[in-house]
Structure 1
Amino acid sequence: MAHFMPFEQAIAAFEPALPLAVGFSGGADSTALLVACAERWPGQVRAFHVHHGLQAAADDFERHCVAVCEQIGVPLQSRRVDATHAPGESPESAARDARYASLLAMARMGTVQPPVQSIAIGHHADDQVETLLLALSRGAGLPGLSAMPAQTLRGGLMLHRPLLAVDAADIRRWLADRALPWIDDPSNTDTRFTRNRIRAVLLPALDQTFDQFRATLARSARHAAQAQALLDEFAALDLAQLGEPPSLVGLQALSKARQANVLRHWLQRAHGVAPSTAQLDQLQSQVAACTTRGHRIALKVAGGFVERRGSHLHWYNSAPSP
């Protein structure tokens, strides 16, 4: 049976490059992470707070974070962002992207020396399960089912999530034992957001049905991440044989599954884009049909276009030439 890792054990196992910045919202998870890291590495930890400006309480959140950091003797940097979403864009995605961009921007500001070497975020086991369930609800493939990685490189900095195997209740117990204050974001109970509906409705139902489901689903996410890593390695070997950009003849010699894998890998690695399932299916159909010199390929893929140029495929972020 899968089990959680105690909060203090997770902190003891955490070995980031120092100095370390902790993304600090003032909530329970980031408060516990900040305090525990500051105790473990005195003078080597800073707090980064992102003021989203999406609700009236945002100013109160910032004031709370200032007070906590003064109490524990940790320097705080705060950055205000416009996290409003564009038409058709998920509000949650827009806020998340703005938050990560702000954390990286604060790390690069260089107002405090030595510069930050890594960033830690307080995502825990419940967050991991919610992310996996969201991915399942959207029909995601292995990248989505891998949920959140324990560490990932963003903008040249390592981003760590050391609490992914820690139960949210254990984090709050740790805070309560130390009489440390935190704030609860009222937007977390707004059931207009899918993640909040999962938290309020689905997780309690799963709690009643499956013992240790959080740890078990988190293990499934790790298995998916391992499988995706193998697919990435395999795709890199195929792409080395096909060349960059990939040759049509080489692509046609691959099985359909292997061809899809290398096309996704090429688009993500070389251009940072991910095709939808429908776009990839259409692209593969065109690759299969491309048996004459005059066959033209010009397909919308992600935010740009895949075009045939001679014997190879190319991707452009603008419309193809006529």
Structure 2
Amino acid sequence: MIKELEKMLYKKKYFLICYSGGLDSTVLLHLLLKLKKTKKIFFRAIHINHKLNINSDNWSDHCKKECKKYNVPIVIKNVNLNLKKNNIESKARSMRYKEIYKNLLPKEIILTAHNLNDQCETFLLALKRGSGPKGLSSMSTYKKIDNIIHIRPLLQIDRNTLEKWAKKNKLKWIEDNSNWDTNYDRNFLRRKIIPILKERWPKFIKNCTRSAKICSEQEEALNYFTTDIIKKTVCTDKTLNITNLKYLKKEILNIILRHWISLHHVNMPSYKGLYKIFTDIINSKKSASPKISFKKYEIRRYRKKLYLLKPILPSLKNRIIFWHKTQTSLALPNQLGYVTQDKMGVKLPSPEKKELVNIRFQANGSFLIEGQKHKKKLKKIWQLLNIPIWQRENIPLLFYNNRFIGALGIFTIKNKNIKVYHYWYLSWCNYITKQ
């Protein structure tokens, strides 16, 4: 196993090992310690305490002591889960990785101790959900998201082999009693289903991983042949141009939709959900403003593009926010960021002494904006600037008393009747049109 590990980590030096204290991660930790004797590597451990078990604090102590014994730096983080919510396994995993990413240092590579049995379980869980080739591909040995690299060095080794190696090297590890609780899907497969399948077909676990690999290869092949279409449809702002999508075959359309949704790092909708995107959004009337909600996000269409968004925040249509202390930043509602004086901001006429600076989110009347020859109502200005409907009431509009100055960072009102003697520079930080 040492030689295989060395090949896998070739030319890589800095690692963050996810150390639960269980059998798998304990073996991986000690393999790294052995590798360190012959190869110049640097690694730290991270332990996530989910507080789900009465013994969880003892497990944290165990991991801390083991790392101290071998002079391995360790980070221990506590994560609190709401036990009343469903799908605890998925939520624990999500929160665990958030903490791992948060504590990852530059140049470090994440190492987890997933093994061959874990891969089989993941494959069966994907099968239970009715997943396609992408889901059935299960876990990859090497994974890269943005600049984060995640390697699973033990993915081709079965659990029995790891246990034999641990006993031979007299290692100490934690036995989690919750692993016997078959109310959890993964434990149910591990304790009840897979042993029966393995007894009937001894090579079942290996064959599952082979099927996962075939699915992964097919997914890569499909992506290769649809690359040109994807380049033409997926825009740089992660929107999807649907101009010609309705003319594609359903199978190709599904691949494009899946690829586009995966760019946003959200859970993939079901097969029915993908079909609904086509029937209710892509194929709806041009005049419509359709949307579909999927758990924590929604998909909307504006003109010839699809947008994947977080649920729209409450309307700010009737809000007025006065900015009395203009030397300090003004916080905006709905997590829209803040307005501040900034030399890198937009050059605007400054207010007169008696004018009250205020932010609103609607304006009535017709206005002439810089670069245009004719006055237009605000609705027409938004259309001209291609601003989607759901963003408009969350864009801060700058007023001096009741005089409309402009939409920060988007347009400025042109007023020929007012002479300007002084200017200032304003920025809207983290504004919604850049999200």
Give the structure 2 partner of residue 182 of structure 1: 173
Evaluate the alpha carbon distance shift between residue 202 and residue 238 of structure 1 in structure 2; reply closer, same or farther with a 3 A threshold. same
Matched, 1:21 2:16: yes
Question: How has the CA–CA distance of structure 1 residues 146 and 86 changed in structure 2, closer, same or farther, with 3 Å as cutoff?
Answer: farther
Q: Give the 3-state SS of the residue equivalent to 2:104 in structure 1.
A: helix
Q: Secondary structure at the match of 1:249?
A: coil
Superposed displacement of residue 309, structure 1: 1.7
Indicate how the Cα distance of structure 1 residues 289 and 66 shifts in structure 2: closer, same or farther if over 3 A, else same.
Answer: closer
Structure 1 counterpart of 2:242, one-letter code: L
What is the correspondence of 1:166-205 to structure 2 with a 5 Å cutoff?
A: 166-205=157-196
Decide which of 306, 312, 316 is 1:313's aligned counterpart: 306
2:91 aligned partner: 94
> Superposition pairs for residues 168-247 of structure 1, below 5 Å?
168-244=159-235, 245-247=239-241
1:254-269 → structure 2 map (5 Å cutoff): 254-269=248-263
Local SS of the residue matching 2:299 = strand
Q: Calculate the aligned-residue CA RMSD, in Å.
A: 2.3
Deviates more, 1:160-169 or 1:233-242: 233-242
State the structure with more CA Rg: 2
User: What's the offset of the Cα at 1:164?
Assistant: 0.8
The one-letter code of the counterpart of 2:130 is G
Q: 1:31, 1:152 → 2: CA distance?
A: 22
Matches of 2:164 and 2:219, distance apart in 1 = 35
Amino acid at match of 1:27: G
Residue identity (%): 27
Question: Is the alpha carbon distance of 1:316 and 1:18 closer, same or farther for their aligned partners in structure 2, counting shifts above 3 Å?
Answer: same
Higher strand share: 2
Q: Which runs of 5+ in 1 are unaligned?
A: 1-6, 109-114
Alignment of 1:30-179 (within 5 A): 30-42=25-37, 44-84=42-82, 87-88=85-86, 90-108=87-105, 115=106, 117-154=108-145, 156-179=147-170
Structure 2's unaligned 5+ residue stretches are: 313-388, 393-435
Which whole-Å CA distance do the structure 2 matches of 1:72 and 1:272 have between them?
39
1:72 shift after superposition = 2.3
Q: Distance in 1 between matches of 2:113 and 2:124?
A: 19
Farther-moved stretch of structure 1 (179-188 vs 277-286): 277-286
Q: Relative to structure 1, is the Cα distance of residues 130 and 243 closer, same or farther in structure 2, using a 3 angstrom cutoff?
A: closer
Cα distance in 2 between the residues matched to 1:63 and 1:116: 28
Question: What is the alpha-carbon distance in structure 1 between the residues aligned to residue 193 and residue 3 of structure 2?
Answer: 29
Counterpart AA for 1:297? P
* Distance (whole Å) between structure 2 residues aligned to residue 200 and residue 99 of structure 1: 24
**Which residue number in structure 2 is paired with residue 3 of structure 1?**
none
Take 2:205 and 2:2, find their aligned partners in 1: how far apart are those partners?
A: 19
Secondary structure of 1:313's counterpart equals: strand
Aligned counterparts of 1:47 and 1:103: Cα–Cα separation in 2: 10
Contact 2:115-2:156 within 8 A present in 1 as well: yes
Amino acid at match of 2:85: P
- Could you list the structure 1 runs, at least 4 aligned residues long, displaced by more than 6 angstroms after superposition: none
CA contact (8 A) 2:246 2:283 kept: no
